[in-house]
Amino acid sequence: MKTKLHQWKFHSVVGPIYLVVSEKGLRGAFWKKQDIPYANDLSEHPLLKKTIEELSEYLEGKRKTFSIELDLQGSAFQKSVWSALLKIPYGETCTYSDIARKIKNVKAVRAVGAANGKNPISIIIPCHRVIGSNGKLTGYAGGLKVKEKLLTLEKELL
């Protein structure tokens, strides 16, 4: 049986975010519309409403952590990287090397970068807090301007 998914386009101050939820939790917060078979557009789903509320509070500077249940879909390695991303404190940044050390796989810096790039839940799993070893901003699915805006928002509210 197919998992029932719900999706909604959230119009945020940093651009549209395409939210996808299952009955287990938030499955995606994407910067581009996803082709999701069997998905219903259903803005009244309680998890969609809660996600929109928490994202709005974050973007208004009123929220530093999220309480949304997640339904992560990925490999064990990707999930370990995403779990490490969730531990990066609000307003702080780290490098791909730092994440590789945190997951106890120091040689996996490139793989960490790839897993970071596959993060299905932008902002909530804060991949925007990962920067290059030279201190510069690196790729972000929402674009470097959005990444810079999110990091600036967090640093200003510390």
Regarding whether 29 and 83 lie in a shared domain, the answer is no
| pLDDT for residue 38 | 56
- pLDDT digit string (tens) for the chain, length 158 residues: 577 888 888 999 999 999 999 889 999 999 998 776 655 666 678 998 999 999 999 999 999 999 999 999 999 999 999 999 999 999 999 999 999 999 999 999 999 999 999 999 999 999 999 999 999 999 899 999 999 999 999 998 87
Regarding whether 94 and 48 lie in a shared domain, the answer is no
Total structural domains in the chain? 2
| pLDDT for residue 40 | 63
Closest to 39 measured CA to CA, from 63, 64, 5, 16:
5
| pLDDT for residue 41 | 61
Classify residue 67: in a domain, yes or no. no
Look up the domain containing 81 and give its range: 76-156
Domain boundary among 60, 88, 104: 60
Regarding whether 93 and 28 lie in a shared domain, the answer is no
Regarding whether 97 and 42 lie in a shared domain, the answer is no
| pLDDT for residue 158 | 72
Tokens describing residue 44: 């009244």
Active site residues: 127
The beta strand positions in the chain, using DSSP E, are 5-12, 15-21, 26-30, 39-41, 94-95, 130-131
Regarding whether 89 and 47 lie in a shared domain, the answer is no
Distance (Å, whole) CA 142 – CA 1: 33
